[in-house]
Amino acid sequence: MTRAAELFERLARVGRIGALRNVRASYVYHVQNAGDWRVTIDEGAIRIQNDASDAEGDATFTCDEQEFVDMVEGRRKMTTTAMQGRLGFKGDFEHLVVQAPLFESISPSPPRQKFQAHREYAK
């Protein structure tokens, strides 16, 4: 099983996400060399469809598996990755932001970076 498939399987077990309780949308994720998934959100309830290469949704995301895993696990921001051209995106830009809580529900907390002031400024 690919890493992306594992992440979608974890997402399917979540079942419902409170932050998406007002959302009714579907998203298609084409993860190169890993698979295609359609995620349907119905007032917070999550449903995952595997083998969704021909599926349609309100937005479509396309990227390679490592980019996908990095975004889900919090090492990359989805909006930044899209603007850099490493995430193909088709649909209303609003959906890029709206679907963010999907993967936040299964991603580990990002490591907190400690701010260290340069010595001359830390006086």
pLDDT of residue 109: 58
49 DSSP β-pair partners: 38
Characterize the bridge pairing of strands 24-32 and 59-64.
parallel
Confidence of residue 68 (pLDDT cuts 50, 70, 90): very high
CB environment 43-63: b (16+ within 10 A), e (fewer): ebebebeeebeebebbbbbbb
Domain count, the chain: 1
Is 61 contained in some domain? yes
Q: At 13, which CATH number?
A: 3.30.1050.10
Is 80 exceeded by the pLDDT of residue 108?
no
Structural domain for 41, as ranges: 3-106
The pTM for the full model equals 0.83
pLDDT confidence bin for 121, thresholds 50/70/90: very low
Q: Give the mean model confidence (pLDDT) for residues 38-65.
A: 94
Tell me whether residue 111 is in a domain: no
Contacts of 39 (CB under 8 A, 6+ apart): 8, 11, 26, 27, 28, 29, 46, 47, 48, 49, 57, 99, 102
Chain-wide mean pLDDT for the chain? 86
* Separation between Cα atoms, residue 34 and residue 5, nearest integer Å: 7
